[in-house]
Every structure is written in C-alpha cells, then in structure tokens.
Amino acid sequence: MNQQAVSEICFEKTYWVPAEQTARSLFARLPHGRDYAESLVECLATGYLAAVVESICIREMQRHIDAVAEVVVGRSILVDHRGPIPPGSLLRLRGWLEPATAAPAVELPATR
C-alpha cells in the first residue's frame, strides 16, 4: 500500500437519498416492527449514511493497494449527521482518510 498516497486522500461527492434508505424503511424490517418505524421521521437512516461514507472510502483506498495481496476493510467512521435528511435530497459528502497504524499481517487460507 502506498501509505503516502493514502494519507493524502480527500473526497467530495454528491449522493441522492433514495426513499428506501430512510429510517422508516430500514426499521420496518427490524424486530421493532412497522408500527415503531412509522413513528420515526422520514429521513435518511444514519446506518445508511455510514455505509455510503464507508463505500466511498473503500473505493478511494482501492486505488492505492495491491488487489492481489491486500484488502481494504473499514475500521472506524466519524460522521457528523447534523439533521434530518429527507428522501430525494442531494447530499454533499466531504471527508478524508487517515491510515490506521499498521496492524500485523494476517495470512488467509487459499480459496479453491
């Protein structure tokens, strides 16, 4: 991995919020049930926001790794979710990556 290049990754992306990524839509599928979900504000679920940010970070890092020998996994995400974001909104996501301290290499068994 090119540590220097990874430490310089910044991004600014836009993301359109689809209706199926709202808290109501997500929570209706969880054990709390549809009645609980209907009591929530119709807005982007924070879990989906975290997933979108993680996917951007992984894509950006994949440009700087050896895909045969390395894999990118999420470690932590710091998100400032400032208020309800209704479906149909266009978000502007800005951020940067900070490389984690080197973890020991783990050899995975070969797959067939």
pLDDT at 110: 61
Q: What angle do CA 78, 89, 22 make, to 5 degrees?
A: 70
Whether the Cβ atoms of residue 15 and residue 94 lie closer than 8 Å to each other: no
Q: Residue 33's domain is classified under what CATH number?
A: 3.10.129.10
Q: Does residue 111 lie in a domain region?
A: no
Which residues constitute the domain of residue 9?
A: 3-94
Burial of 102 (0-12, 13-18, 19+ CB in 10 A): exposed
* Half-sphere exposure for 33 (CA within 13 Å, toward CB): 1
pLDDT digit string (tens) for the chain, length 112 residues? 666 777 788 999 999 999 999 999 999 988 888 888 899 999 999 989 999 999 998 898 888 888 888 888 877 888 887 889 999 999 999 998 877 665 555 556 665 5
Q: Does residue 103 lie in a domain region?
A: no
Q: Does residue 78 lie in a domain region?
A: yes
**Integer Cα distance of 38 and 27 in angstroms:** 9
Please tell me the pTM assigned to this model: 0.77
The structural domain count of the chain equals 1
Question: Across-strand partners of 94?
Answer: 12
